[in-house]
Amino acid sequence: MARSSSPVFPAPRLVVSTQDLEEALAPLHQERYVTVDTEFMRERTYWPELCLVQIGGEKDVILIDAQAEGLDLAPLAALMADAGVLKVFHAARQDLEIFLHLFDALPTPVFDTQVAAMVAGFGDQVGYDSLVGSLTGSSIDKSHRFTDWSVRPLSEAQLTYAAGDVTWLRVVYEKLARKLEQDGRLEWVAAEMAELEEPSTFLPDPERQWERLRARTGNRRMLGILRAVAALREREAQRLDVPRQRLIRDESLLEIAATVPTTLEALARVRGVTRGLAEGRTGQALLDAVRQAQALPDSQLPRLPKGRGKDGPKASSSLVAMFKVLLAACCEEHDVAPKLVASQDDLEALAIDPSQAGAVLTGWRARVFGNAAVALRDGRVALVVRDGRVVSLPVGETAEQEVG
């Protein structure tokens, strides 16, 4: 692709004091939108360690050193809370989680260009650099993508790189917004943005963490123990601010649920559980969780989601395969990313019981795919090939065409 002429971006301003932050952000409250990005570290902690915040305005690029001594981020919190200023991110979830943890509130309103790009037909979870290239014909510097942002001082090259993430984002946002408006899909994006303004999206429920472990047993007592120890791990990881897998690996939780250790010695024999952990506060809490789960009445024990494990209804693999073909065909027709429309779990739910399919059968997703999927499941439409493309047609039409 030919490289387009690059727009002229303002020089970035590094802010390290509260007074400078107040002065730098004050004019941005008058703008229609700002672009936002963060640089953080998470390898050693449960909660992201914020290092730098980048804010792009029409005439200003503000780089906030979140680790500067004595810096109060209250002016940033005020801008994030200003309902009159749209906050534009790319792949916003981790950024939003950071702000929720810092300020106990999510930025509002928000616009995620990655989600918007999926709605606009740019593929599943398109990367920022790829999206910039597709929309502008320009390439951006990603050489500092894996740099350690916690090390000070930050180099000029790092600051230039960081500024680029919010300057090009303004160009991307404006081009995407125009395309979505022309295609009549701003309503689709608005429905997706509503989820990003809901705190529960970013606050994992400890009592549901066991579902992530993909246990294959239908033994409800074992699942109850797994639920208890997975919830305990989540709370302990948050309390200690360490990654959950570093505290106790998934495999160890599954083994605890299977072997049901009730003593320190038995717990220490579980693979991946160190003697030190078993003898400490976390180890005792794990044993308590096991005992409490053992004492639960059967009525309070969890069940595997439908289609999982050895018990209960199974999704027909051939029907799920047909749904995948239909999903690809519908998304090809509407030029939207399949991953945004329906997940593997959604397809399995449709195959077992459409009433459990949730969002796939509501709003724009139903119009694009869900309604056609139910019709296919009921035998009212069939998949056929026309002009080298898969399409769905009413069963009567396909029969008439075959006779003709």
pTM across the whole model: 0.87
Domain CATH for 334: 1.10.150
Q: What is the CATH number of the domain that holds 224?
A: 1.10.150.80
- DSSP-assigned beta bridge partners for residue 110: 87
Q: Helices 74-81 and 93-103, interaxial angle, to 10°? A: 120
In a domain? residue 36: yes
Q: How far, in Å, CA of 17 to CA of 360, rounded?
A: 48
Give the three-class secondary structure for 344: helix
Say if 306 falls within a structural domain: no
pLDDT band at 4 (very low <50, low <70, confident <90, very high): very low
| Final residue before a domain boundary, out of 140, 169, 201 | 201
Last residue of a domain, one of 174, 201, 228: 201
Q: What is the DSSP string of 121-148?
A: TS-TT--HHHHHHHHHS-----TTTT--
Same-domain check for residues 153 and 216? no
Q: Same structural domain for residues 69 and 178?
A: yes
Q: Are residues 333 and 216 in the same domain?
A: no
Half-sphere exposure of 332 (CA within 13 A, CB side): 11
Instruction: Give the other-Cβ count within 10 Å of 213's Cβ.
Output: 16
CATH number of the domain bearing residue 41: 3.30.420.10
Regarding whether 211 and 139 lie in a shared domain, the answer is: no
Q: Are residues 85 and 229 in the same domain?
A: no
Q: How far apart are CA 84 and CA 175, in angstroms?
A: 21
> Distance (Å, rounded) from C-alpha 206 to C-alpha 226?
12
In a domain, 303, yes or no: no
| pLDDT reading at 305 higher than 80 | no
Q: Where is 65: in which H helix or E strand?
A: strand 61-65
For residues 173 and 69, state if they share a domain: yes
Tell whether 180 and 211 lie within a shared domain. no
Backbone CA torsion sign across 1, 160, 149, 58: negative
Q: Please, what sign has the CA dihedral across residues 223, 225, 228, 234? A: negative
Q: Which pLDDT score, from 0 to 100, does residue 315 have?
A: 86
The verdict on 216 and 361 lying in the same domain is no
Task: State the pLDDT at residue 9.
Answer: 84
Residues 195 and 220 in one domain: no
Evaluate if residue 7 carries a pLDDT over 80. Answer: no
Same-domain check for residues 132 and 190:
yes
Question: Quick one: 25 and 169 in the same domain?
Answer: yes
pLDDT digits (tens, 9 = 90+) for 223-275: 999 999 999 999 999 999 999 999 999 999 999 999 999 999 999 999 999 99
Residue 88 has pLDDT above 50, yes or no: yes
Residue 305 to residue 223: CA distance in whole angstroms: 11
pLDDT in tens, 336-372: 999 999 999 899 999 999 888 888 999 999 999 999 9
In sequence order, what E strands does 278-399 have? 381-386, 389-394
Give which of 389, 357, 359 is closest to 374, Cα–Cα: 357
Q: What is the mean pLDDT of the chain?
A: 92
In this predicted model, what pLDDT tens digit does every residue of 33-66 receive, in sequence order?
999 999 999 989 999 999 999 999 999 999 999 9
Query: Minimal CA–CA distance to 376: which of 391, 363, 364?
Result: 391
What domain range includes position 285?
Answer: 206-295
Pick the more confident residue, 140 or 332.
332
Instruction: Write out pLDDT tens, residues 101-131.
Output: 999 999 999 999 999 999 999 988 889 999 9
- Collapsed DSSP state (helix, strand, coil) of residue 33: strand
Domain-located, residue 3? no
Task: Say what the pLDDT of residue 404 is.
Answer: 45
> What pLDDT does residue 314 have?
80
pLDDT confidence bin for 1, thresholds 50/70/90: very low
Q: 146 falls in which pLDDT band (50, 70, 90)?
A: confident
Q: Percentage of residues in the chain with pLDDT exceeding 70?
A: 95
Supply the pLDDT for residue 153. 95
Q: Taking 90 as the threshold, does the pLDDT of residue 138 lie above it? A: no
Confidence of residue 287 (pLDDT cuts 50, 70, 90): very high
- The band of 2, judged by pLDDT with boundaries at 50, 70 and 90, is very low
Q: How many domains does the chain have?
A: 3
Residues 191 and 230 in one domain: no
**Of 260, 295, 330, at which residue does a domain stop?**
295
Average pLDDT over residues 210-214: 91
Paired strand residues for 392: 383
